[in-house]
Chains A and B, each alone.
Chain A
Amino acid sequence: MKTNVLDAEGLRRTINRLSHEIVEKNKGVQDVVLVGITTRGEYLAHRIAKKIAEIENKNVPVGVLDITLYRDDLRGRLDQPILKSTKILFDIRGKIVVLIDDVLFTGRTIRSALNALMDIGRPAMIQLLVLIDRGHRELPIKADFVGKNVPTSHGEEVKVSMSETDDEDAIYLIENGRKEKKQ
């Protein structure tokens, strides 16, 4: 069973609203930088930056963060994750970093990302933006900006398709889509 959670239009509107929320919360985009977590967080960050440029007439820097080296499950996996490159070509010291990911689930990716960011520099503040919050947190982590709350069961999978890498813009909830991970 595959249920559509957001279609292309819905995704576009959600990104618009999230962009406005970033601007509103930070009273403009002075000192705001966006950091997307590879791969879809990166595409989201670029779309949001484009929208913010329209709203505020200002370009916010966009960086890309790969969290592989900071994962807590790096060992004991059968498939070794491919290491991608972190590209943050600006100083994050003293900046407001909006950390961007597609799906917030256990919170472990965000924990890794926070550690990775702290090793790169000392931002004034980190805010978290996620497109989908599907619940089931295993760590005390909460998003500042949420595209959509989607209550899920543990075995379901949230599939985010983005035209940058997939053939459409859409988000689906797939029943029994998630292979049970060994604990």
Chain B
Amino acid sequence: MKLQSRHLLGLDGMSKEDITLILDTAISFKEVLGRPLKKVPPLQGKTIVNLFFESSTRTRISFELAERRLSADVVNFTALGSSVSKGETLKDTARNIEAMKIDMVVIRHASSGAPHFLTRVVEANVINAGDGAHEHPTQALLDMMTLREKYGKLEGLRVCIVGDILHSRVARSNIYGLKTMGVEVSVCGPATMIPRNIEALGVRVYHRLEDVIPQVDALNVLRIQLERQKSGLFPSLREYHRFFGVTKEKVDRAPKPITIMHPGPINRDVELSADLADGPHSVILEQVTNGEAVRMAVLYLLGTSN
């Protein structure tokens, strides 16, 4: 079994078989994470560069740990204080790094399509760690792994993504992946934060949490970027919290417990109340652990395929 592509750019168009292969492989790596010695040798001798043009803490740490646990050699490149701040283009940066003989590139970039561009200028396997408002495939894969672990299957589940769908690559990757796996997907947020025509992707749109909560098994609560307030997409954090903040009071009206997910970092008591984030139905920390397992699976499948 092998993935169709030698890169992971997004979940748009990825087959059910490929997603299942990654999720199954991740289960094996989760077992490795439970060992006293959390390191296995399959990527020995491979060099991976983490190209982070946008600030990121947990995704970068998660990728770096995954790479090291597979015994790869790791180089980190952050845009700040690098040649990029001297005006070097992405193409030149990438080609220079490739001239240093690297095998795989993990890239995070503020521009949608940057990883796709990279595949045309370098020979290495490219993994998208988030590009603009486009895709963040490993986040969606870890969300799916967490749901599958909790419910035993994905098909037939009902998941609502809550928050700023318009600017969210997490939402987009989740919609593509979940739809492929047979999950019923809906989105909920202020009208200013829901992309027009999103129904074309096969999702239902809600503008009131009260309407959607009784209809779902899980809520994937997105982080509200505090700076969006300045751009006038919502009037105030207090108002956002009142209408779209997921609180215990609101989810308690559901007929059965709702699983709470969040890609982090959480704005406590803005998009998600603290008692829910730390409550018995929160799988937020499980998502973090699964993120490492999923990234190990992707790196392993791509890194040993050629």
Binding site for B on A (CB under 8 A): 66, 68-70, 74-75, 79-80, 82-87, 115, 119-121
Contacts and interface: CB of A to CB of B under 8 A. Distances in A.
B304 A80 contact: yes
Contact of B35 (A79, A80, A119): A119
A84 B29 CA distance: 9
B42 A120 contact: no
A119 B1 contact: no
A83 B304 CA distance: 12
Contacts of B306: 75
B37 A120 contact: yes
26 contacts: A69-B32, A69-B40, A69-B41, A69-B300, A70-B40, A70-B41, A75-B306, A79-B1, A79-B2, A80-B1, A80-B301, A80-B304, A82-B24, A83-B28, A83-B29, A84-B28, A85-B31, A86-B28, A86-B31, A86-B32, A119-B35, A119-B37, A119-B39, A119-B40, A120-B37, A121-B36
Nearest to A71: B42
Given A69-B40, A119-B39, A75 B28 contact: no
B111 interface: no
Given A75-B304, A80-B305, A87 B2 contact: no
B17 to A, nearest CB: 12
Interface residues of B, number: 21
A152 B42 CA distance: 31
Contacts of A115: 41
B78 interface: no
Contacts of A87: 31
Nearest to A116: B40
Kindly name the residue among A68, A69, A75, A115 whose own CB sees the greatest number of chain B CB atoms within 10 A.
A69
A80 B300 CA distance: 10
Interface of B: 1-2, 24-25, 27-29, 31-32, 35-37, 39-42, 300-301, 304-306
Contacts of B304: 74-75, 80
Main SS class of interface, B: loop
Nearest to B37: A119
A108 to B, nearest CB: 14
Given A80-B304, A82-B24, 20 more contacts: A66-B28, A69-B40, A69-B41, A69-B300, A74-B304, A75-B306, A79-B2, A80-B2, A83-B24, A83-B25, A83-B29, A84-B28, A85-B27, A85-B31, A86-B28, A86-B32, A87-B31, A115-B41, A119-B35, A120-B36
A115 B37 CA distance: 12
Nearest to A119: B37
A53 B231 CA distance: 71
Nearest to B303: A75
Contacts of B29: 83
10 closest Cβ pairs, A-B complex? A69-B40, A83-B28, A80-B2, A85-B28, A69-B42, A119-B37, A74-B304, A83-B25, A85-B31, A82-B1
Contacts of A68: 42
Contacts of B27: 85
Contacts of B2: 79-80
Contacts of B35: 119-120
Contacts of A83: 24-25, 28-29, 300
Contacts of A66: 28
Contacts of B41: 69-70, 115
A170 B306 CA distance: 36
B141 to A, nearest CB: 16
Contacts of B301: 80
A175 B2 CA distance: 30
Nearest to A75: B304
Contacts of B37: 119-120
